[in-house]
Structure formats: C-alpha cells, structure tokens
Amino acid sequence: MTEITVNVNGKSYTREIEPRMLLVHFIRDVLGLTGTNIGCETSVCGACTILMDGQAVKSCTQLAVQADGSDVTTIEGLASNGDLHPVQEGFWEKHGLQCGYCTPGMIMSGVDLLKNNPNPTEDEIRHGIEGNLCRCTGYHNIVKAIQYAAEKMQGGN
Amino acid sequence: MYPAKFDYYRASSVQEAIQLLQEHEDAKLLAGGHSLIPAMKLRLAQPPALIDIGRIAELRGVTQDNGSIKVGALTVHADVAASDVLQSQCPLLAEAASNVGDRQVRHKGTIGGNLAHADPASDLPAAVLALGGTIHLLGPGGSRQVAAADFFLDLLATDLHEDEVLTAIEVPAISGKTGTAYLKFEHPASGYALCGAAAVVSLNDDGTCAGASLCFNGVTATPHNASAVAAALVGKTLDDATIDQAVNANLSIADPMGDMYASGPYRVEVAKTYAKRALKAARDRA
Amino acid sequence: MGKAIGQAIKRKEDPRLITGQAKYLDDIQLPGMVYAAVLRSPYAHANIKSIDTSEAESQPGVVGVFTGKDFADLNPLPCAWQAGGVNNNANTPRTLEIDKVTFTGAGVAVVVAESRYAAEDALQYIHVDYEVLPTVVDAKKATEPGAPQLHENAPNNICMEWTCGDEAGTDKALGEADVVVKQAIRNQRLLPTPMDSRGAIGIYSPVSEDYTVYMTSQCPHIMRLLMTAFVFGMPESKMRCISPHVGGGFGTKIFLYPEYCMVAAVSKKLGGLPVKWMETRRENYVATSHGRDHVTEFEVAAKSDGTITGLKVETYANLGGILSTIAPGIPTTLYGRMLSGVYKIPNIYCKVYGTYTNTGMVDAYRGAGRPEASYLVERAVDLVAQELGMDPTEVRRKNFIPPEAFPYAPASNILNGLKYDSGNYAGALDKALELIDYKNLRKEQEEARKAGRLMGIGFSSYVEICGVAPSAWVGLNGEGWGAGLWESANVRVHLTGQVVVTTGSQPHGQGHETTMAQIAADLLGMDVADVRVEHSDTLGTPFGYGTYGSRSATVGGTAIYNSVQKIIEKAKKIGAHMLEAAPEDVTFEDGKVFVKGSPDKAKTIQEVALAAAVAYDLPAGTEPFLDDTTYYDPPNCTYPFGTHVCIVEVDKDSGHVQIKRYLAVDDVGKKINPLIVDGQIHGGVVQGVGQALWEGAMYDDNGQLVSGSLMDYALPKAHYLPMIETDSTETPSPVNPMGIKGAGEAGTIASAQAVVNAVVDALAPYGIKHIDMPLTPQKVWEAIHSNGNGGN
C-alpha cells in the first residue's frame, strides 16, 4: 500500500491505496465521486476525462500514485457556488447530451479546449474532442454546446 | 481494466532509476504511462515492479545547443507540439507530436516513452528517423548515443537495454531553405497511423533539391526510410511531376504490415500517395 | 392542444447529468457489496469437460467461485420472439454455461470477491478443461454440407426458415421485366456500443426470500417477467427490478442476459450479500448482443421507364451461437415485412434463413431489421437507376406510393394485414432537393469530375415501422412475439397540484422526463416544471413493455394522453359540482374548469385536485383523487418516413471518403419536442454513417472477435463528421390522437444507404455498382483500381 495525497475539487484527500489502483477508481470508489465515468479500457473513449493540474487527462490511464500531489478537478467540482460552468450550461442549452454517460468527460475536454483556444473554429472543436466518444448525439449539438460556451466566456450571450 | 499487482518505486533521479532497474528484474519504467498502463489494464503486461521516473525534472523540457535541439525524454507530446523552439527550428517533430493520440493523451504521453515503446504505428519514429535524430541513453556503464536509424530493431523492440533509461532525443535544427511535413492517414478506431509520412526537403538557392528525407510510420515493423526516393530528388527541380515520378519509380517497401482494416499492399499504395503529398508540402514550406 | 407540446424546451433531466450527480449502475455502492468477475470461454466452440475452482477459491479476498453446475436448477433464458419457423430449436444462454459453449465470451464461471481487482486476480486460477470443436462463423457457410454443427436440434445450423410475400407472382414479374438487376450484399455485423456497458446488482433477502435486481435494462418489467416466470420459476412478486440511469442502449439492453440472473442467484448463495457485476468494454464486445449480419442476394425487376415490378430477396441472418431474447423477430417481422419501402412494388417475396454460427448473439440494434430492409431497397432503386441511365430521384418519384393511397397495404401482403398509416413521400423528397439545391449540385459534380475530383450525391427515401405494436398482430397473428406490446401510464394530480406521471417505458437518453411531462402539462394547462415523470422501477410503475422500436412517445405517450383525458373528464365532473353547474355545461380549457361562456368564474385543476384529494364534498358516487391508469394497445404501428441526402468526396489516391454535407428531411408526424427530435435524428444518422464507413465486427475463422476493442472497432468521431442538416415535413399519423410517428430510429434507418449511394455515385465514372459496407478506404481504393464491382 502507498499513501497519496490528492487535492480534488479544492479538498485535500490523503489515502492508503494499492499502487495498481487507477486514478479513475480512486476518484470513483475511494472518494465516491462517481460523476467521472468509465467507457472502455483502451484509453479511447474519454468518458473518464478529468483535469489534472489544469489539463484534460484520461483518468483511466493514470495510476492514482501518479496523481500524488496533484490538483484534480472532476465534473462535480466544475460548477462554482451553484452556478454552472459555461460549458455545462452550453450542454444544457444546446441539447448536447442524451444518455449523459460521455457528458462529464466531454465537458471536461471542452473546458480544457476553451482554456487553450477561447475562440475555436468548428474544426478545432471537432479535433479538440477527438479523444471523447459519444454514441448518442452525433456530436452536432456537442459542437454547438462548446460554441455556446466559447461565446459566453468571451462576454457574449 | 484492472492491472495486476506490482511493486511501486518512485525514482528521484536518473541514477536512482538505473539502480532500481538493476535491483528489480523485469521491472518497467513508468513515465507518462500511456503505452504501459493500457497494456497493464488488459493484463497484456504484468510487470512485477514499476519504477516511476515521471517526476525527474531534469528529463523534461526542450533545450538548444549549437545547431541541435535536445528534447528531454519526459517532455509530453503537447509540450513538444507547442514548443517555440521546435516549431521554429524543427517543426517536423512538433507536427508529428501534434498528431499523437488525442489532446488528453498528448497531455500525459511522453516522447521518450513513445520512442522506447516503439509502436510501429505511432507518429514519432518516422519523424525522428527522417530528421536523423539521436537517442540518448544512460545506463550503469554511462551514457551512449544511438542514431535513430539504429535504435528501432523490430516491432516494439529497440536498442534500449533493460537497465538503461532513455534520457533525451536530439534532433538537428533546420537551416537554410528547408521545409518539413508530417502527414498521417489514420486508423479510424485507434487514431494510429496506417501510414504516416515524414518528409524533409532542402532547396538550393536555384530551387533545386539540396537534400531530402522521407520516412514512414505504420507500414512496416520499424519506421521505413525511403532513401532511394530521397536520393532521386537531389539535384532536381521539384515540380509536382518530378516528385510523383521519383516516388513512383523508387518507393519500394518490403514486408509491409497488414491487418483486417488495411492490408500491407494497400498500405504501400497509401504510402506512395502520402509520400507525394508530404514531399510537396515540405517543398512548399522550404 | 395547449402550450407545451411542440415546444423545443430544455430537458428536465439534464441538471443532474451535467453535474455528475446522475447515478448509473456502476455508481451504486451498497453496504457489504461484493464484486463479480466472469470467466469467459476463450474458444468459440467447445465442450466443457470439467472446471476446477479450488485454487481460485483460496485467493485473497475471494468470497465465492461458482460454475454453471451451481445454477443447474435455473432454466435456460427464454427466447421471447419465436418467429415463424423457430420450433423447438431455440437454444438460449444459461446463467453460466454447463456443458458446452458456442461462442467466444460465453460465461462459464464467476468469481466473487471483496474488490473488483481481487475478483479479476482470481480468474486466472480457475482451470477449465475444454474439448475444442471446429467452428463456423459465416451465416451462409454454416448451412453448407460439412459445416460444424452447433446444436443437435438445428440440422445444418438452421434455426428458422421464414418467408413472406408471393413467390410465384414475383418470379413471374422477374420473368416479364425489361430489366432485372441482381446483387449480392452484406449488411455487416455491428457492435452497438452504448458508452455505458452492461451491469447488474443482485440482492437477495433471506428473510422475505425475494430479490432486488438493479440492471442496465431498457425494460425492467420484462426482465422481471422473464427472470421470475421463465428462469427462476417463481412469482413475479418475489422480484423487484430497477434500471438506474442507463447510458444508452440502442437495443442491446432490451434483452435478458445471463449475468442479470447470475447476480441474483449468487446473492442468494452468499446469504444476501449485494453482488455487483459490471461489464468491461471487452466483455461488452464479446458477450453483449450484436446487430445486423445479413448475407443477402436480391433481384429487382423493372420496366424500361423505371417502374419497379418485383423484388425477390434471400437472406441468411446470422443469429450467433445461441439465441438472444428476441433475435428471431428482427430479420423476419422487422425486416421482410418492410421490403416494399416507400414504393408501390406489386410483387415481393422474401426468404430468410436464421442460422447458428460460432459468434456472439445477434439481436435488435437501433432500427433492428428496418435498416437492413431500407438499405436493400434503396440500393436496389439506385441499381435500377444506374442500369437504366436514369436519375435516382426520378426512379424514386416514379415508384412512390402516392399520398392518396394511404392507408396503404404493401403488395403480396408482406405486412401481414397492417397498413402504412399516412405519408407524402414526394413531399419529403421535394423539400430535400430544394434544400440541397440539387440541380446546381449535379453541375458542381460535373465540374468536380472534370477537375479530377470524385464527388458523389446519394439519396435515401425511407419508411420505417415504429410504435410497436398492436398486441394481436405481433403476438397472436403469426409474428411470434410471446406477449403483448401495449404500454402503460399512470397520471396523478396530487393534492398540492403537482402531477406525477409514471410510465412503463424506460428512458436511456431519449428525454422521457421532458417529453412526457410536456404531454401531461400541455393537456392539463400546467407548467412542465410541475409534472414529474417516474419510471424504470417495477415497484411503483404499472407493468409496461419498455423502450425500443421508437414506441415510447407513440404508444407510451398515448397512454399518458388517454389517462389525462380521463382525469380531465373527472375534473370536469368535480369542477362542475364545485361551480354548482351541471357537468355537461362545463368545459376544461387552459387548466381550468368553467361553465361554457363564463371563463372568469373558474376552478383551476389545482383547486379541483385539492377538492378531489381531501374529498370533503364530491359529487355523489365519485371516488376521491385525480388518478388514472391506462393500458394502451395501439391499433396499428406508425410509419415515419423521409428523404436523406449525402454528399461525399472520395480521395481516389487513398480511397478515403469524406462526407461534405448531410441533409435529413424527416417526417415523424407531430413533434412533442423538436429539440429532442433533432437530437435523435443527429445521433441516428451518425450511427448509420458509422455503419456505412467505419464500423464492422470481424470474427476470424476460429471465432475470435478480432475487432474486440475500441482500438479496433471504429465508432464515429467528431472530426470525421460535418454538421447534420435537418428539416422536416409533417404528416400526422392517424393512428394516435397526437398524430406522432416516433423518431428514435429514423436517422439510423435512413442513413447508411445515403452514404453508400453517394460513394457509388462518386465512383460512377469507374463503372462501379456496389461496395459492401463498411466502405473502408482500402475497399474503395480497390474498387477504383479494379475498375469493376466492389461487392462480394
């Protein structure tokens, strides 16, 4: 067992874990933050995407020990004081989700994308979420949701 | 989805990592983990020990020195792709790195891990080979440098010894009228290269070709160097027809890899197409 | 109607989904929970000689190890749709297989441990002695002499032979036709891939001797019925089934699976410990039912003016090693019966062989049978156009069933007594042509060809059968479905004025909590926010058949509609009493009861609900409370239709296909929520595009699934796709009072052939007539370079 300390959504957690534990299992099973989902075991689907030290990362492809000392943000930590993040809001406004399973990871990727590229083209959005699979929406409304958020974050409506 | 048990060691220096490698038989180095952890999740890899080198700061970053650029092994793909130094002086490496995986993968996957894993369908090996790069290795006996051309031995096999750490990749800065391009034809599921073409083209002042290099990922078990095509271009004025003709006449790839999605012979045909496109793009950028 | 139906309002369920608060199956943790991992057969065909679990039992953290013999008292899972020809040869899964396996991935043992990691660790210590047998994976080759035989009761691996239509008439039409085009096509096997794979939690109560089973199911009521009555042999009252949030289904979560039974049975063995099993993606790919997999030859007959006179089809439908719950109904009722498409084809005949092979189970996948039919018909029409040198839109137009012909019974009685409800097929095509600017598009194509670029335009005019289904038709009159297909609703207006609607259908992405609230709110003149929709738990919802076949809105929504109407009648009676008026003198509008002509003196539905609930002063003989339950059995199915257009560009040097534009003009009748309908169309279209271009499950000759992960099986990705342009026509369905036709599957049923037709059109200069899906770059490149027919 190894002791790690991870700051998740602004709260510090110190836990003894098996070194083999994946970060996504640490988040879901040890901390009980089940908003981050698992959709595959080959690092393709992106359902498990979180922000680790501010960058989008597939939490199924990190060991929890690798996150020792890191700041992690999950979908549960995105809204502040009850206000949805503009990307969350965009997904709601534009019907960017159906079953919702890919949504937390998709939203985290969208947040990461807009942080690096506040005014992306449609093509840049599509490439920006190439590491996230959605089986319901055909991506159409996800692109619109991220466009909505980009506009809102730049002071638009 | 559930890796087997292993012992975990965190190395704070390269020397410590080498020592741990010597102490633990069959131990694996863990850098970004983006080649190793997927294999462990499927239990295709069950190493008894992992030595985590991910926090060794000296292995991270891009530095310039006398016409060459050194990229620390732990530099992640996103940082390689975004490096000002590489974008201006070795854009081929940055372009290839920007093609690896997806944005999440590029945030954690490292250039050293990628090259040490030597997946033939990855994006970096052909670029490093086309650039004439050098791999820096450090082991108990000290450091050694291996040319990229000698580093990739076979499918998932390199000249990296079991007790060595890959510390850096060194590539030359481009100079004069040189253009480069990396173009990928990707597998729709994995995003890996069915064929990735890395091209370097240098022009003389009169517009003729001073030198060229053309290498492929994804087609063969190790990156393929199409030196005959490159040789055929030297001294010529590189109009489209000349490039097409040089590729058609000189590109021959033995033992191409195939799978259910794209056969070996088909990949060779794609390689021809992508060779032409990559060479033309490199020429236009020179 | 009022103000809620037809509004593109934001979904009520979204806040919990976008904040990570929704609980999917794997999110549920219960005290004392233990975790199951299933050992699956590495062989596609083998006898199980023995299984030694002793070493696994002694591994750290292991709570128990079980094999099929431990559950020998449980019956095999039932086959609930025994289409014509399935007679005493329905071989189905057991909770864990005991004697033999017929596909790679069949469960043979289970480890239960204190953690999922520990359970996984112990799997390798179970030792199974297999006698490996020869394999066959192709639906047609399985029927040939010398093929390995999977089941004693199915000679030549034939599970069923099913026909519909008029063979003699069709042969005559083929004989007399000006042209006959013959084509072999494959509709490849697909891995449905909901992002949330399957899982289940079983909890047995040793005190009350009953079970609670959480499961990723599209129809928890059916699961309870099948598990109790057929597998466990006990009353339904002994089991409660709950579907928590379910992350997509696309058909694969309709079926009863062995693991659902296993977690319940294992919990009992362990004295009531909650047992969770959650599928990995690899397991999802080998052990969850697949879709499609047809090997078909067809002949289409036409006059030289493009009038189609006959269609003859022979299909080998791969059903896998054993039968999934409703497998036989998919390539029969939902396929053969829709082979007239949107056309007046006077003679049709279809023969289907359902065959066993050493592959995973095949059952309904989004569209289920109808995409196969629509793909075939729309390829046939394009082949006729190509053969005659006609524009593909003209051949379509010439053969459309005209609007005045509805209700229309397709020829040769292939629809077995049902009739298409309503349609205006030319209207949808016209709108599509206008929106896509067809004339200029053909000019653009000509110019592109001159410039050496391969541009293609593909059409798909489709009709589907939705809103399944009249019980007597699907069950009694020869379709073989083992029960009814009505749907239930309960509507209650509570004392506080809030409405609770319960439905027997089960949302897993479709937005029932919003659309069903819209129906009730609209009719009751209330805010959508004041209507809560409850579902997915056999405790607290009336029996219902669940969600599939685009039936929730058409059948389930109509049940709600009918209940609300009955509540309004009761409210009028009580309201009249409150107003001291005669019931026949009052009306109900905008949520209020008032005497006709005197709207200023009204009782709101909330006031009436309070009066009904407290019951201090009700009209004589009136029961308290505004509460009604409806069991609605539709008189017919519904038949959405439309025209889709796809524009592609093919890279002739690599064979790569790029979709430049995609337009969908759909007629789903009246829309309850256009935002949700559009979302269904977008997603449906892209699933069909995925089939056309990328997706394909591949087995090798040994029955190993070589496309067994998302690294190998290509789901559509964002950067491969354009925006999906949508528009609609509106032809209300006369089948139900709201005029809705259903929208869940339309996109998928329409789209694959639009893409394939576009690619074949792009390659027309090379004389190519057909390429089988998926249109991988290699296949397209080879077709170009072989200068001929790229099909099999």
Interface touch C720/B188, C-beta < 8 Å: yes
Residue C792 has pLDDT above 50, yes or no: no
Using pLDDT thresholds of 50, 70 and 90, give the confidence band for residue A156.
low
Chain C residues touching A91 at Cβ < 8 A:
14, 18
pLDDT of residue C660: 98
C175 contact partners, CB below 8 Å, separation of at least 6: none
Query: What are the Cα distances from residue B223, in Å, to B158, B226, B253, C321?
Result: 12, 10, 11, 42
Both tokens of B210, joined, read 């001073």
pLDDT of residue C476: 78
pLDDT of residue B77: 98
- CATH 3.30.365.10 residue ranges of chain C are 290-469+636-786, 486-632
Mean local confidence (pLDDT), A36-60: 97
ipTM over 0.95: yes
Mean local confidence (pLDDT), C504-532: 96
C346-374 pLDDT, tens per residue?
999 999 999 999 999 999 999 999 999 99
Query: What are the Cα distances from residue A126, in Å, to C179, C581, C694?
Result: 46, 63, 18
CA B237 – CA B245 distance, rounded (Å): 12
B80-95 pLDDT, tens per residue?
999 999 999 999 999 9
Chain A and chain C share a number of CB contacts under 8 A equal to 176
Question: Which of B263, B200, B262, B267 is closest to B230 using CA atoms?
Answer: B200
Mean local confidence (pLDDT), C579-590: 96
Q: In a 10 Å sphere around its CB, with 0-12 CB exposed, 13-18 middle and 19+ buried, how is residue C529 labelled?
A: exposed
C285 → chain A, closest CA residue:
A40
CA distance C390 to chain B (A): 34
What is the β-pairing status of strands C725-728 and C626-632? unpaired
Fold classification of C32-133+195-248+253-287 is Aldehyde Oxidoreductase; domain 3 (3.90.1170)
C109-139 pLDDT, tens per residue?
999 999 999 999 999 999 999 999 999 999 9
First to last CA, chain A: 50
Is-cis flag, bond preceding B116, omega within 30?
A: no
pLDDT of residue C787: 60
Interface touch A56/B33, C-beta < 8 Å: no
Answer yes or no: are the C-beta atoms of C599 and C529 closer than 8 Å. no
Chain A residues touching B1 at Cβ < 8 A:
22, 38, 41, 60
pLDDT of residue C55: 98
pLDDT of residue C411: 95
Interface touch A41/C29, C-beta < 8 Å: no
C674-689 pLDDT, tens per residue?
999 999 999 999 999 9
Chain C interface test: which of A135, A141, A143, A146 (most C C-beta within 10 Å) = A135
C320-350 pLDDT, tens per residue?
999 999 999 999 999 999 999 999 999 999 9
Mean local confidence (pLDDT), C23-38: 98
Interface touch B4/C711, C-beta < 8 Å: no
Mean local confidence (pLDDT), C552-564: 96
Chain A interface test: which of C25, C195, C281, C658 (most A C-beta within 10 Å) = C195
B132-190 pLDDT, tens per residue?
999 999 999 999 999 999 999 999 999 999 999 999 999 999 988 999 999 999 999 99
pLDDT of residue C1: 55
DSSP-derived letter for residue C71 is G
Task: Measure CB to CB from residue B33 to each of A41, A66, A112 and give the nearest one.
Answer: A66
pLDDT of residue A148: 98
Long-range contacts of A120-126 (CB under 8 A, 24+ apart): A120/A146, A120/A150, A122/A147, A122/C723, A123/C719, A125/C718, A126/C718, A126/C719, A126/C721
Please report, rounded to a whole number, the percentage of residues in chain B having pLDDT higher than 70: 100
Interface touch A101/C194, C-beta < 8 Å: yes
CA A84 – CA B179 distance, rounded (Å): 46
Interface touch B4/A63, C-beta < 8 Å: no
Task: Measure CB to CB from residue B261 to each of C280, C656, C776 and give the nearest one.
Answer: C776
Domains of chain A: 2-77 (3.10.20.30), 86-153 (1.10.150.120)
CA C756 – CA C765 distance, rounded (Å): 16
Residue C393 has pLDDT above 60, yes or no: yes
CA C321 – CA B4 distance, rounded (Å): 32
Fold classification of C486-632 is Aldehyde Oxidoreductase; domain 4 (3.30.365)
Residue C87 has pLDDT above 80, yes or no: no
Using pLDDT thresholds of 50, 70 and 90, give the confidence band for residue A8.
very high
Mean local confidence (pLDDT), B192-199: 97
pLDDT of residue C786: 87
Domains of chain B: 7-52 (3.30.43.10), 64-172 (3.30.465.10), 177-285 (3.30.390.50)
Residues from B contacting A (CB-CB < 8 Å) are: 1-8, 10, 30, 33-34, 37-38, 40-42, 50, 52, 54, 78, 101-105, 107-108, 189-191
- CATH 3.90.1170.50 residue ranges of chain C are 32-133+195-248+253-287
C169-211 pLDDT, tens per residue?
999 999 999 999 999 999 999 999 999 999 999 999 999 999 9
pLDDT of residue C790: 41
Could you tell me which chains touch chain B, where touching means 3 or more CB pairs under 8 A? Answer: A, C
C159 contact partners, CB below 8 Å, separation of at least 6: C85, C86, C89, C90, C91, C319, C323, C328, C354, C355, C356
A3 → chain B, closest CA residue:
B8
Mean local confidence (pLDDT), A51-60: 98
C708 → chain B, closest CA residue:
B189
Q: What is the CB neighbour count within 10 angstroms for residue C193?
A: 26
Phi and psi angles of residue B110, each rounded to the nearest 5 degrees, phi first: -110, 155
Interface touch A84/C18, C-beta < 8 Å: yes
pLDDT of residue C789: 46
Tell whether A132 is within 8 A of chain C (Cβ).
yes
Chain C residues touching B190 at Cβ < 8 A:
711-712
Helices (H), C469-601: 471, 512-524, 557-578
Residue B282 has pLDDT above 50, yes or no: yes
Give the right CATH number for C290-469+636-786 from 3.40.50.300, 3.90.25.10, 3.30.365.10, 1.20.1180.10: 3.30.365.10
The CA angle A121-A125-A131, to the nearest 5 degrees, is 155
B1 → chain A, closest CA residue:
A41
Chain A interface test: which of B8, B12, B34, B102 (most A C-beta within 10 Å) = B102
Chain C residues touching B196 at Cβ < 8 A:
none
Mean local confidence (pLDDT), C671-675: 97
Residue B237 has pLDDT above 60, yes or no: yes
Q: What is the CB neighbour count within 10 angstroms for residue C144?
A: 11
Phi and psi angles of residue C528, each rounded to the nearest 5 degrees, phi first: -60, -35
C714-773 pLDDT, tens per residue?
999 999 999 999 999 999 999 999 999 999 999 999 999 999 999 999 999 999 999 999
